[in-house]
Amino acid sequence: MKAWQRYSGLALPLLLLLLWQGLASAGIVQPMVLPSPVAVAERWWAALLPPQAYEAAQGSYLTWLFSGELPHDAAASLWRVLLGFLAGAIPALPLGLAMGASAAAYALFNPLIQILRPIPPIAFIPLAILWFGLGNPPAVFLIALGAFFPILMNTIAGVRSVDAIYLRAARNLGAGRSTIFARVMLPAAMPYILAGMRIGIGTAFIVVIVAEMIAVNNGLGYRILEAREFMWSDKVIAGMITIGLIGLGIDVGMNRLNTHLLRWHRGGEK
Amino acid sequence: MTTSAYVSVQRVSKRFGEDANAVLALQDINLEVAHGEFVCLLGPSGCGKSTLLNMIAGFIAPTTGSVRVDGKEVTAPGPDRGMVFQEYALFPWMTVAQNIAFGLTIKGLSRADIAARVDGLLQLLKLAEFRERFPKDLSGGMRQRVAIARVLALDSPILLMDEPFGALDALTRRTLQDELLRLWSELRRTVVFVTHSIEEAIYLSDRVVVMTYRPGTFKRDQSIALTRPRDPAANDFNALKRELAGLVTAEQQRHVESERRGIAVD
């Protein structure tokens, strides 16, 4: 790739930013409807910074550095995503392996799965609040639901795509059922499983924002809704951009993990 | 029945499918392979040679008759009958060393023992510098060396080989044939080798069994008395080749005709 191509993707966002600034500066639209990028950046920066000056007596420098509102909200959201993702992935993985490997397990679970799967996690919000009250539990439940199905479906597809020749080779080499599961089926299905996890974490991120708008009083979703109440559109956009940046960060991280775990895969490594 | 034979196939038939669509793949097969013997099963596709090999490996059960290896009835695949597949069947998510170690870890050997065995096999198969590579980074010939090492690691007294060199180019193929003969004479394993190459069968084996097209039966059980290393350009080699070619071609012809009649479902 040529050098200019590598950075060509930055041109459009920059152009959009300029257009946006121009529109705001020209005074055509009210700042409340569309605040200028500079105002958004200022708001974002203010939320990022610690509210008070550093005092050694208050605690470590690092705690102080991350004592701003934005780092707190981002951490709260990420923590929920992590908990929900794990709560979804941990049952999805073994169930997917079982349903992929055994026709009996598939026949048993598939009808229920197919009925539940099309229901968006958002539709569970009223029940989630009834069942789990307010706070983190309903949010984690909803996120888990969002992460569960993509991982499950991909794990099933992954196990089914395992070439029979590997199973034959493993049996020939003396492998029993559990060895075949752990050392043949699971790694062979890994490209599918990781793709499912990537979709799952994306869904988890969508669900966390929605859940935070309803059930909790911190996190990025909550902060955006709060800003809306005060008509702080610059803060709303600042929150949205933070979500975008964190989402990008997670995706880059997942991509790295993918490349590392699938370095054996064709085209996985240069 | 027979006590001297290491592999003993007795009156084996194999039928695939039901009723009208059933295909009789093997009919009344009797085969005995002595300890340390190198036997090739030769025939056109559809003659059931791979089916027979898969029965010895324990992947397929005979419809009638029995297969015994080392006096024991074969009922399931196992590490006492190591198999080398044409498609290599290496685990792509494991390095060369991990692939070779797979059977050893199942046997529950200690880490140190496994490392020592793997090192030895890497040396034996001239794979030492590839130990940390993944299969995707190896050529076909190298992959098949790893597959052979993986099976040799099991110490199984018999090697079952299903057209192992079929996908390789001619030069690599000859190199690996020579390697296999070297290993065979060093390690004294019994080998049952499936091929459709007449030259390969004569070049390698003590005995060539020519099989007929469906239903698979034995057409000729030919001992190869030529001294090793054999020269494929020599007159006696070519005389044998011509003779076996006549048999195989006739069966190939039946295969083609039957396909033309639309009977074959292979």
CA diameter of chain A: 76
Which residues on A lie below 8 Å from B79 (Cβ)? 172-174
Q: Write the pLDDT tens digit of every residue in A225-257.
A: 999 999 999 999 999 999 999 999 999 999 999
* pTM (2 d.p.): 0.84
Domain span at residue A150 reads 71-217+244-261
CB atoms B77 and A166 under 8 Å: no
Place of tokens 């809704």: A225
The one-letter amino acid at A159 = V
What CATH number does the domain containing A141 carry? 1.10.3720.10
Give the CA angle between residues A184, A113, A148 to the nearest 5°. Answer: 65
In-domain check, residue A111: yes
In-domain check, residue A256: yes
Helix, coil or strand: residue A173: coil
Q: Confidence band (pLDDT; 50, 70, 90) for A126?
A: very high
Domain count, chain A: 1
Spatial distance between the Cα atoms of B181 and B176, rounded to a whole number of angstroms: 8
In-domain check, residue A193: yes
Spatial distance between the Cα atoms of A157 and A2, rounded to a whole number of angstroms: 38
Spatial distance between the Cα atoms of A97 and A152, rounded to a whole number of angstroms: 8
Quick one: tokens of A248? Answer: 């990008």
First vs last C-alpha separation in chain A: 14
Spatial distance between the Cα atoms of B126 and B121, rounded to a whole number of angstroms: 8
Residue B30, judged by CB atoms within 10 A of its CB (0-12, 13-18, 19+), counts as: middle
CB A143 within 8 Å of CB A85: yes
Does the CB of A189 have a partner CB in chain B at under 8 Å? no
Range of A236-250, A255-269, B213-227 with top mean pLDDT: A236-250
Does the CB of A186 have a partner CB in chain B at under 8 Å? no
Q: Write the pLDDT tens digit of every residue in A23-50.
A: 888 888 888 888 999 999 999 999 998 8
CB A159 within 8 Å of CB A101: yes
Say what the ipTM of the complex is.
0.90
Question: Which listed CATH number (3.40.50.300, 3.30.565.10, 3.10.580.10, 3.90.79.10) goes with B1-79+161-167+191-266?
Answer: 3.40.50.300
Q: Write the pLDDT tens digit of every residue in A77-100.
A: 999 999 999 999 999 999 999 999
What is chain B's alpha carbon radius of gyration, rounded to the nearest angstrom? 19
- Residue B240 Cα, gap to closest chain A Cα (Å): 35
CB B158 within 8 Å of CB B81: yes
CB atoms B85 and A165 under 8 Å: yes
CB atoms B93 and A188 under 8 Å: yes
Place of tokens 């096999």: B121
Q: Is the pLDDT of residue B51 over 80?
A: yes
Q: Confidence band (pLDDT; 50, 70, 90) for B1?
A: very low
Q: Confidence band (pLDDT; 50, 70, 90) for B59?
A: very high
Q: Is the pLDDT of residue B41 over 80?
A: yes
Nearest beta carbon to residue B102 from set A173, A176, A263: A173
Question: So where are chain B's domains?
Answer: 1-79+161-167+191-266, 81-155
Q: Is the pLDDT of residue B2 over 80?
A: no
> What proportion of chain B, given as a percentage, has pLDDT over 70?
97
The residue among B55, B91, B133, B138 with the most chain A CBs within 10 A of its CB, best to mutate, is: B91
Nearest beta carbon to residue A166 from set B83, B89, B103: B89
The residue among A173, A177, A181, A190 with the most chain B CBs within 10 A of its CB, best to mutate, is: A173
CB atoms A174 and B87 under 8 Å: no
> What proportion of chain A, given as a percentage, has pLDDT over 90?
77
Spatial distance between the Cα atoms of A88 and A77, rounded to a whole number of angstroms: 16
CB A74 within 8 Å of CB A88: no
The residue among B69, B102, B146 with the most chain A CBs within 10 A of its CB, best to mutate, is: B102
Quick one: tokens of A74? Answer: 């981002």
Place of tokens 């054996």: A264
- Residue A204 Cα, gap to closest chain B Cα (Å): 29
Q: How many residue pairs bridge chain A and chain B with CB atoms within 8 Å of each other? A: 67
* pLDDT at res. A269: 41
Q: Is the dihedral of CA A88, A92, A94, A95 positive or negative?
A: positive
In-domain check, residue A118: yes
Mean of pLDDT over chain A: 91
Does the CB of A187 have a partner CB in chain B at under 8 Å? yes
Spatial distance between the Cα atoms of A223 and A39, rounded to a whole number of angstroms: 17
Taking CA–CA distances from A165, the nearest residue in chain B reads: B89
Q: Is the pLDDT of residue A9 over 90?
A: no
- Residue A268 Cα, gap to closest chain B Cα (Å): 10
Going along chain A, which residue ranges are E strands? none
CB atoms A172 and B94 under 8 Å: no
